[in-house]
Amino acid sequence: MSYNLLKGKKGIIFGALDEKSIAWKVAMRAKEEGAEFVLTNAPIAMRMGEINKLAEACNAQIIPADATSVEDLENLFTKAQEILGGKLDFVLHSIGSSPNIRKGKAYGDLNYDWFLKTLDISAISFHKVMHVAEKQDAMNEWGSVVALSYIAAQRVFPDYTDMSHAKAVLESIARNYGYRLGRSKKIRVNTISQSPTKTTAGTGVGGFDAFYDYADKMSPLGNASAEACADYTITLFSDLTRYVTMQNLMHDGGFSSMGISEDIVDLISK
């Protein structure tokens, strides 16, 4: 159902790879709510071509950008404002990748060059995005910037290895840039800490099925889906959450408040 929550708002959505991507669901919901936006992803991700289907469905243009490249981001923000005919109201950072996870490196055996790559792609890129937006004065007052995080920033999930550090940095960047952009332009910056979700990035983590089921059984509401995450993101882009900033917002069906659940007790007692 549409509530016209984003009528007249313009934005950039990073990270829609395929239909399962959280960013894909956000784009579909944002369109439904009346937003106009530009889609972007790393040039290498474009090769799959899936994003073209989304662009067609949302009547959106695509501008490739490697989020670790300030030059690409400058081009993206300049072109997005030209295409949309003005400054932006929202930005979604839905980006994550760890070469160490992809190549099966255990925590005690990390490749440090890849560790730096993980941090650059999954966290520092968020700083670069806001740095470019600020330098170009690309956002309107009361704009909203959201990035996606995971509870491994606060708790230990052994297979999440260096991504857990990237998420901790990402959440810290949200607080620090949130202060800066809040003071200068009343722009809010938040991270959403999402339940395990069956996407390309999610299922790439070792033992994903086990911790997906574990989280589902621990959470009184069950795991939050990608569609539900999109709904929540839309509220953060809307004018209904203007004073929410510098927060890491749990969107996890209650998981983060649990110690143990009856479902888990039953499972272990069997």
Ligand X SMILES: NC(=O)c1ccc[n+]([C@@H]2O[C@H](COP(=O)([O-])OP(=O)(O)OC[C@H]3O[C@@H](n4cnc5c(N)ncnc54)[C@H](O)[C@@H]3O)[C@@H](O)[C@H]2O)c1
Site residues for ligand X per CB under 6 A: 14-15, 17, 21-23, 41-42, 45, 66-68, 94-97, 121, 148-150, 194, 196-197, 199-202
Classified as helix, coil or strand, 40 is: strand
The secondary structure element, H or E, covering residue 117 is helix 112-119
Structure tokens at 108: 């005690």
Active-site residue flag, 160? yes
Burial class (CB in 10 A: 0-12, 13-18, 19+), 182: middle
Given a contact cutoff of 8 angstroms between Cβ atoms, the answer to whether 5 and 234 are in contact is yes
Of all residues in the shown chain, the one whose CB is closest to ligand X is 202
Element (H, E) at 71: helix 70-84
168 versus 269: smaller Cβ distance to ligand X: 168
State which residue, 73 or 139, has the beta carbon closest to ligand X. Answer: 73
Q: Which is nearer to ligand X, 139 or 170 (CB)?
A: 170
Q: What are phi and psi of 212, to 5 degrees?
A: -65, -50
Cβ-based nearer residue to ligand X, 197 or 238: 197
Query: Measured from the CB of residue 242, what is the shortest distance to ligand X in angstroms?
Result: 24
Concerning whether 150 is annotated as a catalytic residue, the answer is: yes
How far is it, in rounded angstroms, from Cα 25 to Cα 194?
A: 14
Instruction: Output the CA–CA distances (angstroms, integers) from residue 57 to 19, 29, 52, 162, in the order listed.
Output: 12, 11, 9, 35
DSSP 8-state secondary structure symbol assigned to residue 44: H
What whole-number distance in Å separates Cα of residue 52 and Cα of residue 262?
A: 45
Annotated active-site residue in 112, 160, 214, 232: 160
141 dihedral zone (left: phi>0; alpha: psi -120 to 50; beta): beta
- Listed in order, strand segments (DSSP E) in 48-137 are 61-62, 88-93
Shortest distance, position 226 Cβ to ligand X, whole Å: 7
Percentages (nearest 5) of helix, strand, coil residues in the chain: 55, 15, 35
Spot the catalytic one: 150, 177, 212, 214. 150
Beta carbon of residue 165, minimum distance to ligand X (angstroms, whole number): 13
Hey, which residues are catalytic here?
A: 150, 160
